[in-house]
Structure 1
Amino acid sequence: KEERKVAAAERRATAAERRNRMLAGEDKYLLPRDKGPVRAYVRDIVDARRNLVGLFMPLALVLIMAMFVSPALQAIVTLAMLIMMMFMAIEGVWLGRKINNQVRERFPDTPDGGFKLGWYAFVRASQIRKLRAPKPRVRPGDAI
């Protein structure tokens, strides 16, 4: 029984070490979707700018809570959420195109690109900055 506790503690310590290295951005420990210099470059581009789409989750929570305050607000809140989603879609398309153009300039012979890379950038941008994994290496406003 004692051996199992020791083995479990070792497994937890190993998993915590792997997670810390993954959050630090070590390529060996990253998930397959995050590996490679192209994906690191995309993460840096996304992390170096402020994104409207990153406000979606906090605004959505505020709008959902507002729906419970007054039934009269429901139509206004629904319209606000639709407008917010429209802006998110526009920014997502714009961000995807921008990312793909910059990747083609910097890595002209990479097979990575298109919708997949744009989607990767959009998903990264939509996450709350403090919860992004791997952690951002650049601050907003830094030059890439």
Structure 2
Amino acid sequence: MFGRKKDDAKTAATRPGGPHPEREGAKNRPTPKRRDQEAARKRPLVQTDRKKAKNSDREARRESSRKMRMAMVTGDDKYLPPRDKGPVRRFVRDSVDVRRNLGELLLPLMVAVLVLSLFAGTWATYVFLGVYVLILLAVLDSFLLWRRTKPQLLARFGEDTNLRGLGMYQAMRAFQMRRTRMPKPQVERGAKV
């Protein structure tokens, strides 16, 4: 009685251009029903094909780790691990990378001392004492670096910046040789941070 008849809908659909003429930039199709969309998105919580699920998980992990490795080289903040993410961590890394640190010398020096210890002599005790003095100087150097970096962090990122763990993060980076640091240094030595 009221409304359209089915025959009118069929004749409108068979007309050229359908019920409405096509418009540029428009959707030009009816909106799908909610139940149809939900049915199309529905997936089982546990896949029935375990082998396929295992392979897809493995591929997803590989892709994720590949992106993370590339981010460690390029410094892309989006894919860095949570330990290295954020502008505050980047500033701390850059503050270490722009200068020469005494901690960088420790690993090569330790290898040299290990080789020299094979040829024991009276001078070996002086070399060992020198290594301990260098270790203390490197710790003092990293402490002074943190004391210099902390006010800069607070000035640049605000007083509410969480500084927890940043001192150790900076010290561990200062004790690594520049070539082996990950994420790779993004600034040159002597540059302005």
TM range (shorter): 0.7 to 0.9
Aligned match of 2:169 in 92, 96, 120?
Answer: 120
| Alignment pair present for 1:87 and 2:137 | yes
Letter in 2 for 1:16: R
Aligned to 1:104: 154
TM-score (norm 2): 0.64
Percent identity between matched residues is 36
The separation in 2 between residues aligned to 1:38 and 1:88, in whole angstroms, is 23
The RMSD of aligned alpha carbons is: 2.4
The Cα of 1:123 is off from its aligned counterpart by 0.8
Letter in 1 for 2:135: M
Q: Which has the higher helix share?
A: 1
| Alignment pair present for 1:59 and 2:109 | yes
Aligned to 1:129: 178
Structure of higher CA gyration radius = 2
SS of 2:70's equivalent? helix
- Corresponding pairs, count: 139
The Cα of 1:12 is off from its aligned counterpart by 8.8
The Cα of 1:20 is off from its aligned counterpart by 1.2
The Cα of 1:109 is off from its aligned counterpart by 3.4
TM-score (norm 1): 0.83
Q: Equivalences for 1:14-93 in 2 at 5 Å? A: 14=63, 15-93=65-143
| Alignment pair present for 1:139 and 2:188 | yes
The separation in 2 between residues aligned to 1:78 and 1:22, in whole angstroms, is 36
Task: Assess, with a 3 A threshold, how the Cα gap between structure 1 residues 61 and 110 changes in structure 2: closer, same or farther.
Answer: farther
The separation in 2 between residues aligned to 1:12 and 1:31, in whole angstroms, is 14
The Cα of 1:140 is off from its aligned counterpart by 0.3
Letter in 1 for 2:186: R
The Cα of 1:102 is off from its aligned counterpart by 1.1
The runs of 4+ residues in structure 1 deviating greater than 4 Å are 9-13
For structure 2, which runs of at least 5 residues remain unmatched after alignment? 1-50
